[in-house]
Every structure is written in structure tokens, then in C-alpha cells.
Amino acid sequence: MQETNQKFISVRNLIKKFEGRIVLDNINFDIRQGEIFVIVGGSGSGKSTLLRTMTGAIKPDQGEVYYNGKDIHSLNEEEMDKFRKRFGMSFQNSALLDFLTVEENVSLPIYEHTRLDAKLIGIIAQMKLKLVGLHGFENFQVSQLSGGMRKRVGLARAIAMDPEIVFYDEPTAGLDPVVCAVVDQLILDLTKKLNLTSVVVTHNMESVFRIADRIAMLYKGKMLQVGTKDEIKNSKDPIIQQFIKGEIEGPIHLNEDVIKDSM
């Protein structure tokens, strides 16, 4: 492969607080062009918040998110809207528009951003739905779908515009193992064949090791380590070891979090 851009996306000194509580604590990392960058971490560790600051949905209290050297949070609203056409995002809770049908949801970004004719848009939408295995559900209402199906429609919508960068917030949570593997393969194919850059948040360690080029471990708002699969597997950090093995004994205590949160 040709020379890849080592600092395609750079997150610098990112701090985000919610009502005085620090959720992202001085985060720094780089994402390379064309890689699958996986962010793992416990529930409530700030993964979704990190993605949302990266897409510009929420403003950080401090720090920058650079795309090819350009800080997304320095853009005005109109520039941001233009910038975001290069993004696709699949949301943790799907976030489909529930007054539209499945096909309308997928074609919405194409319809809004291009001047293609309606028939062509329909064909593109159907193609994307086929990719996520939802061929034949085009005219269903969102409310008629199961949670996993919604997730897949959200995935189809995320890739509808053929984005350069796709953000996936737990794309495989709530899917059965087979569909889960299919979605992992889809992420791999898209990234490697179309040379996209993928940022994936997940809990599922199996899919992490299936798809990741590099892994970042987030723990209570701090970035513990960024590294390749092997580096993470062989990490000396007991928190990381406990997390990837899913053990009860170790430095991570469930109750500790709860007590701190309620203070």
C-alpha cells in the first residue's frame, strides 16, 4: 500500500465535563487513514461521549479534534455541516427517524446532500440495505423492526453517502453471533476495499480481535493504552488484562463506580 496518513485524525488534550463531573480526562491519540481503530472500555467510561466530540455533536470543554490538521470545533455551523458529509455514524441506539420507512431512512442523507433522482437514490438505498441483510424490508416502518434490525438499518444509513470516515457506536451489541460476524466482515470489507477509516466502539472482545488494526482502552475517562492487538493482549496493565479476559477479580470493581457516581 502507498504511504498512509499517520495523523489522519488527531485528538489532542480532550476534556469533557458534564455538570462538573469529568467524563473525558485529557485524551490524546491519532488515527491513521484506512485503519480500523477500536475503542474499548467499560460501560460509562465515556466511549460514546468521545465519539460525539469527534463528530462535532458536542463541544469539548478543552482540546481539539483535528482532521488532516483542521480542528472540527473551530468550524462554524455551515462549514461543519459540509464537513460532516464525509462522516457516517451508526448510533448506539440506532437513532432512526421513526416517521420514515426503512428505505426513506437510508436514502435521507443522499436525498438531502445530492441532486440524484429519486429512482437512483432508491436503488442505492436498496443496495446498502442488502449489504446489511435487510433486503425486502424497504417499506417497513421503523417501529415494526426488532432492535437488531434497527441497528443494521442505522449501519446502512451510516454508509449511505459512501463516507470517508465511519463511526460505529457498538455496531454489534444486541445482534446474534452470525449477524455479528457478518457486520464485522462488513466493517472489514468496507474499510479495506474502499479504503475508509473506521472508528469502532465496542464491548465485544471477540469482534475487537477480529477487526481491529489498533485498539484504544478507555477507563473512567482516561486513555490507558493505544496499541495493536498483540500489544494490548500482552499489556502489563492489570485493568486491561481484566477487561479483555472478562474476569471478576481485579482492579475494576463495579460497586466502586456506583458509589462514586451517586456522590
Partner 1 sequence: MINFLENIGQSLKDWITVFVDITKLFFETVYWAVFGIFHHKPVNFKTVFEQMVYMGVQSVMIVFFVTFFTGVVIAMQLAPQFQKMGAVFYVSSMVSIAICRELGPVLTALVIAGRIGAAITAEVGSMKVNEQIEALETMGINPVRYLAVPKFLALLVMLPCLTVLGDASGMFGGYVVGTTSLHINPGMYIQTTFKFLSLKDIYTGVSKPFVFAAIISMVGIYQGFKTRGGAVGVGKATTTSVVTSFIFIIIADCVLTGIYFFVKF
Ligand X SMILES: Nc1ncnc2c1ncn2[C@@H]1O[C@H](COP(=O)(O)OP(=O)(O)OP(=O)(O)O)[C@@H](O)[C@H]1O
Q: How far apart are CA 157 and CA 102, in angstroms?
A: 9
Position 48 contacts Mg ion (CB under 5 A)? yes
Contact pattern for partner 1 over residues 129 through 168, marking x by CB under 8 A: ----------------------------x---x-------
95 binds partner 1 (CB under 8 A): yes
Given the complex with ligand X, which of 47 and 214 has the nearer CB atom?
47
- Residue closer to ligand X by CB (options 41, 56) is 41
Burial 186-212 (b: 16+ CB within 10 A, else e): bbeebbeeeebbbbbbbbbeebbebbb
Tell me whether residue 170 or residue 184 sits nearer to Mg ion (CB atom). Answer: 170
* DSSP annotation of 131: H
Give the one entry of ligand X, Mg ion, partner 1, none that residue 41 binds, where binding means its C-beta sits below a cut-off of 5 to 8 angstroms depending on kind: ligand X
Separation between Cα atoms, residue 62 and residue 23, nearest integer Å:
12
Segment near partner 1 (CB under 8 A); pick from 12-20, 39-47, 110-118, 216-224: 110-118
Three-state SS at 90: strand
The one among 10, 26, 33, 92 contacting ligand X by CB under 6 A? 92
Residue 201, C-beta contacts closer than 8 angstroms, at least 6 positions apart: 38, 39, 40, 47, 48, 50, 51, 92, 167, 168, 169, 170
**Site residues for Mg ion per CB under 5 A:** 48, 92
